[in-house]
Amino acid sequence: MLPRMSGSCIIPDMPCTCETAKVMRARSHGLQRAPFWRALGFPNLVLARAARQRNLARQRGEKAHLQVQKRAGLDALLNSARDDL
C-alpha cells in the first residue's frame, strides 16, 4: 500500500506549507550547485577553514600567554610572601 499523500506535497505525510516548499526549493538548489562547486574545489570552504585555523591558533596563543602571566603573578605572590617571613 502506498503512503498517504497530504495535499499536493511530494513528501509523504508532510503538510505542504509555504515553509515546506521553501525548504524543498533550497535543498533542490543546493543539490544543483554542489557539482559546480565541487569542480572548483570549494574555494570559499578552503578560505573559511584557513581563517578558522588562524583564529584557533590566535586563541591558543592568547590562552597560553594568560596562563604564563597567571603563573608569573602566582610565583611573584609566593616569593613576596616568603620575603616577608
pLDDT at 47 over 70: yes
Q: Mean pLDDT score of the chain, rounded to an integer?
A: 79
Same domain, 18 and 48: no
* Band (35; pLDDT cuts 50, 70, 90): confident
Same domain, 16 and 35: yes
User: What whole-number distance in Å separates Cα of residue 67 and Cα of residue 80?
Assistant: 20
pLDDT at 55 over 70: yes
pLDDT at 78 over 70: yes
Same domain, 34 and 50: no
pLDDT score for 41: 87
Structural domain span for residue 34: 1-41
Q: How many domains does the chain have?
A: 2
Same domain, 34 and 64: no
- With contact defined as beta carbons under 8 Å apart, do 44 and 50 qualify? no
* Band (4; pLDDT cuts 50, 70, 90): very low
Same domain, 33 and 57: no
DSSP conformation letters of 19-46 = HHHHHHHHHHHHHHHHHHHHHHT-HHHH
